[in-house]
Amino acid sequence: TPITLLRELITLIGGIGLMVAMNWRLSLLILVVVPPIVVAGAFFGRRLQRLSIDVQDHLADSTVSLEEMLSGIRIVKSFTREPWERARFARAVDQSLVAALRRARLQAVFIPTVNLLGSGAVTLLIWYGGRLVIRGALTPGDLIAFLVLMVMVAQPLGDMAGQYGRLRQGLGSAHRVFRLLDVATEPLDVPGALLPGRLRGSVRFAGVSFAYDGLNPILHDVSLDVAPGEVVALVGPSGAGKSTLVNLIPRFHDATRGVVEIDGEDARRLDLRDLREQIGLVPQETFLFGGTVRENIAYGRPRASDEEIRAAARDANADAFVRDLPEGYDTVVGEKGVRLSAGQRQRIAIARVLLKDPRLLILDEATSSLDTVAERQVQEALERVMAGRTTFVIAHRLTTVLRADRILVLEGGRIVEEGTHAALLARGGLYRRLWSLQFREADDAAATEPVPGSPVERP
């Protein structure tokens, strides 16, 4: 820190001053011997600092990559990009390792060199000082004082050796991280798993219960039958189990009891990669990876052509604003790039799913309201992506429940009501209460005035 550096500087200057005052000849000797040490220290020190920054940068890169991967883990899984993410992280870690090794090598040269020069200087001082004492030109007390001062002057240099200890600590932590990385992940390809081919898209839950901890069920005996192309809206108070239910479809979890069937097959028998490749996921909080717009859209199909990417972006109402970005499709977004509005991010997420052309769609509508223009653009895009696909949507918008073929009302992990909007309203149950609270007021407000502070489109 600057304070310790200041203290070391004062010690250095004060020590030298005292020595000169005591005996200039001995001081002269020290002034001949010390500069090489200082020069060596400065030279290696600067390089060491540069290498340390290098290590820090690479570590930061790998942390960013890890953080993105973890916060977007459902996206990673649903696009079956685990191998790619793993490689990306491995690359970042490798780079930090290479930088750390370079630093360690330099330190291995630096520290012994400085130590050797230091001991050499002390030896020289004792030898010459001893002769002066014998000749009576110096008192033994002064020689001792000189030695003490010399050690004090050497102290600041010795501190640099402390860095080595810190590096050892860092390598120790890295070891723990590697142990964590060795923990097995779920296998994507299981030998003997069914390859369903292109799905038709029917989904059946038969007496499905699910408990995260194996003890306290979050879903209780859920049964439902969804035909290919049907749009099912899930509504219900928060914590009712809507996300848990849809997460069983791409098998982020498996049912504790009962069966989830897709195209009439137990989902557990289907090849996980094949299944997830046919399920599109648009989460509530749109997740963009650090990288270009193009890479983000092509996330599920890295080899997609520019034409295909453009077409998906057009269908997602994203092409126009993307082309207005500083570098169009090559604009970097995410942590280190251009910040996009919530509506823009959602449309990129929709383009990403469109490009994948899934048979099944899982949408988690954002609760935060967009302004009316952005809202309409997102809705249009969603409508296009839903066409002809079996869709489960966790609904927060009136337009969505109106358009759904069927609405499931969940409460406490059970389907308590089921039907169309009109039929459920007529029933006068939970749905009616939710509708008047959640949908009508929110959408009326959104329709008449933009919500203050809501994200505004930045073209």
- How near is the Cβ of 423 to ligand ADP at its closest, in Å? 22
Task: For ligand ADP, give the closer residue by CB, 243 or 346.
Answer: 243
Tokens of 448: 């008449």
Q: Does 300 bind ligand ADP (CB under 6 A)?
A: no
- How near is the Cβ of 51 to ligand ADP at its closest, in Å? 41
Per this entry, what is the length of the chain? 459
Q: Does 15 bind ligand ADP (CB under 6 A)?
A: no
Residue from 156, 201, 241, 334 in contact with ligand ADP (CB under 6 A): 241
Task: For ligand ADP, give the closer residue by CB, 115 or 284.
Answer: 284
Q: Does 242 bind ligand ADP (CB under 6 A)?
A: yes
AA letter at 152: M
8 Å CB contact between 125 and 148: no
Classify residue 367 by its DSSP letter: S
AA letter at 327: E
AA letter at 415: I
Q: How far apart are CA 146 and CA 129, in angstroms?
A: 9
Q: Does 92 bind ligand ADP (CB under 6 A)?
A: no
Q: How far apart are CA 351 and CA 316, in angstroms?
A: 5
8 Å CB contact between 51 and 103: yes
Residue from 240, 279, 281, 297 in contact with ligand ADP (CB under 6 A): 240
Pairing of strands 360-364, 390-394: parallel
Residue from 218, 267, 270, 360 in contact with ligand ADP (CB under 6 A): 218
Stretch that binds ligand ADP, among 112-120, 236-244, 290-298, 302-310 (CB under 6 A): 236-244
The tally of CA atoms less than 13 A away on the side-chain side of residue 257 is 13
Stretch that binds ligand ADP, among 29-37, 129-137, 234-242, 370-378 (CB under 6 A): 234-242
Task: For ligand ADP, give the closer residue by CB, 103 or 242.
Answer: 242
Q: How far apart are CA 68 and CA 58, in angstroms?
A: 15
Tokens of 31: 């002034």
Q: How far apart are CA 300 and CA 312, in angstroms?
A: 12
- How near is the Cβ of 341 to ligand ADP at its closest, in Å? 25
Helices (H) and strands (E) in the chain, counts: 17, 12
Q: Give φ, ψ of 417 to 5 degrees.
A: -145, 155
Residue 24: which H helix or E strand, with range?
helix 24-71
Q: Does 244 bind ligand ADP (CB under 6 A)?
A: yes
- How near is the Cβ of 362 to ligand ADP at its closest, in Å? 12
Stretch that binds ligand ADP, among 9-17, 39-47, 148-156, 238-246 (CB under 6 A): 238-246
- How near is the Cβ of 186 to ligand ADP at its closest, in Å? 15
Q: Does 243 bind ligand ADP (CB under 6 A)?
A: yes
Q: How far apart are CA 448 and CA 459, in angstroms?
A: 23
- How near is the Cβ of 243 to ligand ADP at its closest, in Å? 3
Place of tokens 């070391």: 8
Q: Does 212 bind ligand ADP (CB under 6 A)?
A: yes
- How near is the Cβ of 233 to ligand ADP at its closest, in Å? 13
Tokens of 149: 């001062």
Stretch that binds ligand ADP, among 233-241, 292-300, 401-409, 450-458 (CB under 6 A): 233-241
Stretch that binds ligand ADP, among 109-117, 156-164, 169-177, 235-243 (CB under 6 A): 235-243
Q: Does 239 bind ligand ADP (CB under 6 A)?
A: yes
Stretch that binds ligand ADP, among 237-245, 269-277, 371-379, 414-422 (CB under 6 A): 237-245
Q: Does 238 bind ligand ADP (CB under 6 A)?
A: yes
Tokens of 120: 């050499």
8 Å CB contact between 291 and 332: yes
Binding stretches for ligand ADP (CB under 6 A)? 212, 218, 236, 238-244
